[in-house]
Amino acid sequence: MLPILLTFAIFLPWGLSFPVIPPTLQDDLNFFEDYFHRFFFTTEESQKYSLEDQLRFLQHFFRLEETGWLDEPTKALIRQPRCGVPDIADYSFFPGSPKIERNHVTYSIYNYPVGMKYERVEKIILKAVKIWSNVTPLKFQRVYTERSDIEFAFLRGGHGDGFPFDGKGNTLAHAFAPNPYYQGVVHFDRDEEWSYSHEGINLFLVAVHEIGHALGLGHSQDPNSIMFPTYQYQDPKYFRLGDDDIKGIQTLYYSGNKSQRVS
């Protein structure tokens, strides 16, 4: 933990026997601790590790230089908009590798974001599910019933699932692993500025990521993967799944039968 202590020592006033942490640095540390507890280890689990160890763990996951300091690249990364699903490592699955057990997958759209016509949202979601059907045996069907395999919804703040949204910025959306007993859900933060371009937050890119979760994928360490936790804009016209995405989803849905896989 020496690097952190050295950081504090810089701000040690003459005549005092303890470090005084500047408010801005304390805010950054508080933000990091909250981030780490939400997306990596719980508060209880984190007690086993020093702050330096936690910083190195996060830096290793995101392939940053492992300084053990709360340096500028680390601060910039944790402030980026991102998915609300906790991080694991590599291309990954949820515990137990749950998946949708049939190839015919239905989806519904509960409501629509402010400022976007519903016809455009429908087209964006259709394009997003096709990204995954193109490399799997899955076939998606839009339905208008209360019950579907995956429901898309735009919600604000606390919305009953234990994972409240935080308003504009930071957490953009979340989804839950496939469950044979409950309807799958993809929730978008309604307070975000959703768009179909580079402005605001591109709905297509976030939808592809969250559908990956709804199908059973966890997060990836590969920054070229759509399942990487943080949001990075790319032109949807030229979007392609990364090799890591394809390997992960095909491992889950082709059950090891490489002869059936498509690229």
* Catalytic residue annotation: 210
Length of the chain: 263
What 119-124 contacts at long range (C-beta under 8 Å, 24+ apart), as own/partner pairs, is 120/196, 121/203, 124/196, 124/203, 124/204, 124/207
Distance CA 139, CA 134 (A): 9
Q: Where are the alpha helices (DSSP H) in the chain?
A: 2-10, 23-39, 43-46, 51-61, 72-78, 118-133, 203-215, 243-253
Rounded-to-10 torsion of CA 90, 226, 142, 138 = -50
Chain-centre distance for alpha carbon 62: 13
Identity at 127, one-letter amino acid code? K
Distance CA 94, CA 33 (A): 23
Rounded-to-10 torsion of CA 148, 150, 156, 157 = 110
Beta bridge partners of 184: 150
